[in-house]
Every structure is written in C-alpha cells, then in structure tokens.
Amino acid sequence: MAEANYPISGSCQCGGVTYQLLEAPLAVLACHCKECQKLSTSAFSITALVKPESVVFSGELKEWQRWAESGNKNFAKFCPECGNRIYHFDPDRNDFIKLKPANLDDTSIIQPSLHIWVSEKQDWFQLPEGVEVCMGQPEL
C-alpha cells in the first residue's frame, strides 16, 4: 500500500458529507460482482476495509439495505443530497466497515491487493499481475 499522510480527508460529490480517515485501511479490494458493477457503473467497485474507529464522519447520512443471495447483509450509507455512497457495512459485524475510497482527497492508497467475485468480472478487463484473486466471496 502506498505511503500516505494521515488523516486523509474525504467527501461526497456535493460536500454535504465529509470525513477523516485516521489510519491506513486493513485491506483494499476490487469487487467484480454484478451488484458492484451496478454501483460503480464500471467493471468493478473499490472498497477499503477500515476499522470503524479509524474514520470520523460529519454530515447527514441516509441508509439503504440489501440482502445477498447468500443471506449476507450489505447496508450502505450515502449522502441524501447527491446520492454518493460513502461506505457499506454488515450490522452483524463491528470489526470493519467498507469505505468507498474514491472520494478521498488523496487516492494513492487505492491499490487493490485482492480482486473478488472474479467469476462475474467483465471479459474485457485484464486482472493485474501479482494480485490475489477470489472467484466469489472471501472469508473476511
């Protein structure tokens, strides 16, 4: 992972939600599942797994919920004004949240070391050499 100076500021597109990431993520993942393709309107979505206490949010956040076919809960917090997703979480787990790091001011930490749900990836996307790959949902 790239060296970065913490805290790193982040915000939604309209600036109504801001946050400070206080320390490095536990991991950075690229998810290729169909739901993440819908979310990102691209080939995959980037997620930084961070400890809940390592990020401080300001501004109003709304919540959206969905359940995966596996039964896993995937809840999302987003800006009610611009709709920009800020993070995802599973309410049954409190060891990490899934921050959407593309809205950080310094995006140098966005270097995925694990690509997940590769079984659903777009055929045209070539995985980088040397990254770990998981065909479905990894044990996190």
Inside any domain, residue 88: yes
Inside any domain, residue 2: no
Q: Domain tally for the chain? A: 1
Reading the chain (140 residues) residue by residue, the pLDDT tens digits are 557 889 999 999 999 999 999 999 999 999 998 888 888 889 899 999 999 999 999 999 999 988 876 677 889 999 999 999 999 999 988 899 999 999 999 998 889 989 989 999 999 999 999 889 978 887 77
**The domain containing residue 128 runs over which residues?**
8-133
Inside any domain, residue 79: yes
The neighbour count for residue 78, using CB atoms within 10 Å, is: 19
Inside any domain, residue 139: no
Inside any domain, residue 99: yes
Inside any domain, residue 3: no
pTM to 2 decimal places: 0.86
Q: What CATH number did the domain enclosing 77 receive?
A: 2.170.150.70
The pLDDT, as a whole number, for residue 16 is 97
Inside any domain, residue 138: no
In a 10 Å sphere around its CB, with 0-12 CB exposed, 13-18 middle and 19+ buried, how is residue 59 labelled?
Answer: middle
Select from 35, 16, 9 the least CA-distant residue to 80.
16
Euclidean distance between the first and the last CA atom of the chain, given in angstroms as a whole number = 19
